[in-house]
Amino acid sequence: MKIISSIDDLRDQLSGQLRTAFVPTMGNLHEGHLSLMRLARKHGDPVVASIFVNRLQFGPNEDFDKYPRTFQADVEKLEKEGVYVLFAPTEKDLYPEPQEYRVQPPDGLGNILEGEFRPGFFNGVCTVVTKLFSCVQPRVAVFGKKDYQQLMIIRNMARQFAMPTEIIGAETFRADDGLALSSRNGYLSTEERLEAPFLYQTLNWVAEQTRGGHPDLLALERAAMARLAERGWKPDYVSIRKRMNLQAPTADEHAAGAPLVVLAAAKLGNTRLIDNLEI
């Protein structure tokens, strides 16, 4: 595996490659990330991964400096997966001058759910993904469904900008007890790790109630948040939305069987977890 930090060196290395499959990450890799590499290989060759902790998507109350960085362990994992190139730019490599041009998603999608609780987050995500795509120029790029809203925003962005990159969504990789794998899981205490699967259990409960014809989705969302709060969680949202645009379904749309997804974000102790489940 070649480890490259310079954009020019990366372009030289990938020159002439027409089927590059790309998986962008912020490092601290786990089995969920590695499953993305395997899926990428099914859709293209060579496989290129990136590790870059993107300052632009961290809010003022989110500690960029404390984000876990496990570069050597990450390299070993990617080598075992047969990744061809690891693009690991420094901030100076990727942002040699202040990144004054930004990519702003539409308010109706970028300022709801995660965007409401993490202002500016998707602005930072869209900007860095656009820049990484420009550097790697992949034919396909793989993103996990665990970050459902992010996947939708990037997919819409690529379409509207006519980017020559197909966005592939990978199913959420879960531990045996249902917890979605996430770098943030490492912050959980032993007791919190035992409690953490309750978030997914709550999503399943909401999905069952919805499929069973529960008429009041807003009341169902409130009940789900109350279930979490009773066990010491601090929920930001549990929200049932239409898969197509993440807007709330009308009663008629729900009755007509519109494809839905339930999304949730909640703090357990000091760790904020997110998850979702298609209904």
- Catalytic residues, which ones? 33
CB 159 within 8 A of CB 134: no
Give start and end residues of each alpha helix (H) in the chain: 7-14, 31-43, 71-80, 91-94, 107-110, 114-117, 121-136, 148-160, 190-195, 198-211, 217-230, 251-255
β-strands 271-278, 85-87 pairing? unpaired
Amino acid present at 128: V
Longest dimension (CA), the chain: 58
How far apart (Å, rounded) are the C-alpha atoms in residues 237 and 242? 15
170-173 long-range contacts (CB < 8 A, ≥24 apart) are 170/35, 170/36, 170/39, 170/142, 170/143, 170/144, 170/145, 171/145, 172/32, 172/144, 172/145, 172/146, 172/275, 172/276, 173/31, 173/32, 173/35, 173/144, 173/146
Contact 123, 104 (CB under 8 A): yes
Single-letter residue type at 276: N
